[in-house]
A and B are shown apart, each in its own frame.
Chain A
Amino acid sequence: MSDQREAILSRLVTVCGAVAGINAVDRNRLDVSQMLRPAVIVLDGTERTITPPLINARQASVSDKQRMELLPQIIIALRGDSGGEAGTLLTLYRNKVLAAILTDATLLASVTPNGGIRYEGCVVPAPDAEAREYRIDLNLVFTYIFSLGDL
């Protein structure tokens, strides 16, 4: 078995990079090299437990299995000529990237059993004045089983 967290994050990069129209993808960077656009940047984000560790006398004294949530940040960066056109493009790539992630068989397999992928919305940060660079941040939650044996 492999670490589920790493398997999900690695696959996310692959899936986002394969979306039609995306020219660059990178992980844990402030931006992609050569400022290629449209681009996706995957930040590893937060991993947290959603079940308390089993540490009472009748259970194991270490967390050998527990349900986890992984909250990576997926940033889509692109350029637009005007606010309206940028909005249309942001929506276009939001839809494409979300559809790719939520239907990817490998990602879905990474969160079974007892897990899932949940889309929790998106944020478009206010652009700088006169800028033509726009971003949209997608928030997804991956629920999966952490297993000590996978480490």
Chain B
Amino acid sequence: MKARQIVASLDHALARYGQTVTLQRTAIDGSTGAITVTQEVTCPAKFRTYFPQDLQAGDVQDINVILSPTGIGAFGLPSRDDRIVIDGNPSNVEQIGPLYFDGQLVRVNLLCRG
């Protein structure tokens, strides 16, 4: 098994079972705090909401997201507080878990909230 085979396998799985999401990098207006999107990429992802206690939290929930390095491309590895838009609903990227195999990025796990 080589890194490119792992990525190809993930790409295939995301294409077949995933949904399209949009990753956004943002900038803040220093005088008002308004948020603008400076960079974004649309890519396939597999996501799952979880934590039963979020049923009480109302509109905000935690979301587990799996991305492929192929999809994120030039956007690069997401960073803390980038945003991900799922079904039109923006969520905050809280934790980033890149997985490497043989020195190459083969998968990105995200914990998002929104």
- A21, A33, A85, A132: which contacts B59 (Cβ < 8 A)? A33
The residues of A that contact B58 with a CB separation of less than 8 Å are 29-30, 33
CA A31 to CA B83, docked complex, whole Å: 15
CB distance from A132 to the nearest CB of B (A): 4
Chain A, interface size category, equals 20 to 34
Given contacts A29-B57, A30-B57, A133-B92, contact A35 B83 (CB under 8 A): yes
Docked Cα-Cα span, A88 to B32, in Å, equals: 10
State in angstroms the CA–CA spacing of A30 and B32 once bound together. 23
In the complex, the answer to whether A81 meets B90 with C-beta atoms within 8 Å is: no
Residues of B with C-beta under 8 A to A89: 28, 30, 33
- Tell me if B81 counts as interface (CB < 8 A to partner A): yes
Q: Which of A29, A93, A133 contacts B81 (CB 8 A)?
A: A133
Q: Is the CB of B33 within 8 A of A130?
A: no
Residue of A nearest to B56 (CB): A30
Q: With an 8 A cutoff between CB atoms, is A140 at the interface?
A: no
Taken together as a complex, chains A and B put the C-alpha atoms of A85 and B27 apart, in Å, by 12
Does B18 count as interface, using CB distance less than 8 angstroms? no
A130's closest neighbor in chain B, by CB? B80
| Complex interface: chain A residues within 8 A of B33 (CB) | 21, 37-38, 78-80, 89, 92-93
A residues near B60, Cβ cutoff 8 Å: 29-33, 35
| Contact A79 B81, beta carbon cutoff 8 Å | yes
Given contacts A33-B58, A34-B90, A81-B27, contact A132 B32 (CB under 8 A): no
Interface status of B55 (Cβ within 8 A of chain A): no
Query: Contacts A29-B57, A29-B58 given: A34-B114 contact, CB under 8 Å?
Result: yes
For the residues of B in contact with A, the DSSP-based class is loop
Say if the beta carbon of A102 comes within 8 Å of chain B: no
Q: Which residues of B contact A79 (CB under 8 A)?
A: 26, 28, 33, 35, 81
Assess whether B80 is in contact with A81, with CB atoms less than 8 Å apart.
Answer: no
Decide if B28 touches A85 in the complex (CB within 8 Å).
yes
Q: B89 — which chain A residues lie within 8 A by C-beta?
A: 34
Q: Do A88 and B30 touch across chains, with their CB atoms under 8 A apart?
A: yes
How far does the alpha carbon of A4 sit from the alpha carbon of B92 in the complex, in Å? 37
> In this complex, which of A79, A80, A85 has the most chain B Cβ atoms within 10 angstroms of its Cβ?
A79
- Name the CB-closest residue of A to B58: A29
Interface residues of B in 52-103 (CB under 8 A from A): 57-60, 79-81, 83, 89-92
